[in-house]
Amino acid sequence: MSALADKVIFLTGGAAGIGKACALAYLRAGAKVAVMDKDEDALKDLENEISRQLLCAISGSVTSGEEVKAALEKTVATFGKIDVIHNNAGIANPSKPLDQTTDEEWDNLFDINLKSVLRTTRYGIGHLKKTKGCILNTSSMVGGIGQENHAAYVATKGGMSALTKAMALDYAPFGVRVNAVCPAGVWTPMLRKWSAEQPDRAGIEQYLDNIHALGYCPEGDVIADVAVFLISDAARFVTGCVMPVSGGAELGYKK
């Protein structure tokens, strides 16, 4: 039997990058997936790749409680239940130290990266209690080891990792598991665009390879494979885990 047979997954930020890799991996593993994303063009592209019977594409922003609530309700109306909520939506900009970060930039990062988890949990936990499902959060290694010129982003990901553990304790009595995946560098459209804009593109690509002890910056599929495991019944006794999927980056940069 497929690892995620009969599972229904609600995934935020799933139309591109790591989110899209996860959506495709979930579908290959037998799940049905509802993807909420504010990028309507990327959502349409995803719909064109996938059977409408297996995918529910929902345009909306995780910064709106009403839109999150409506998206969760549409998922249940379409597929009958929710087994998994994967909180993947996030942004990394601006690239600044703390004293140069504006209040608006700080608030926007926290609203998208962290408060979105409050919204999906507030409106989705009742569904997960019914199915004894689970929550997966996309965090980042920088939340534990830091990153220069990304203070607000690092703060959101450190908060995401800590929040994962608190949520695991709160919802364990209901049979609901909560875990996180922690990538380091991953080639996504956003990262490729950023690297192409750098003066020394070759040097940047070498740097991104070098921060991983295994020697290369991966594609999103390596994150997706671990995500499939963490939301599957194979991980039924795993909760509160903040799982590095980082090629050993947390062990120390090679250069």
Report, as residue numbers or ranges, the catalytic residues: 153
Q: What is the 3-state secondary structure (H, E, C) of 185-242?
A: CCECHHHHHHHHCCCCHHHHHHHHHHCCCCCCCCECHHHHHHHHHHHCHHHCCCCCCE
Q: Which helix (H) or strand (E) holds 110?
A: helix 103-113
Pairing mode, if any, of strands 32-37 and 84-87?
A: unpaired
Secondary structure class of 143 (helix, strand, coil)? helix
Kindly state the tokens that stand for 172: 């364990």
Pairing mode, if any, of strands 55-59 and 84-87?
A: unpaired
Q: How many residues does the chain have?
A: 255
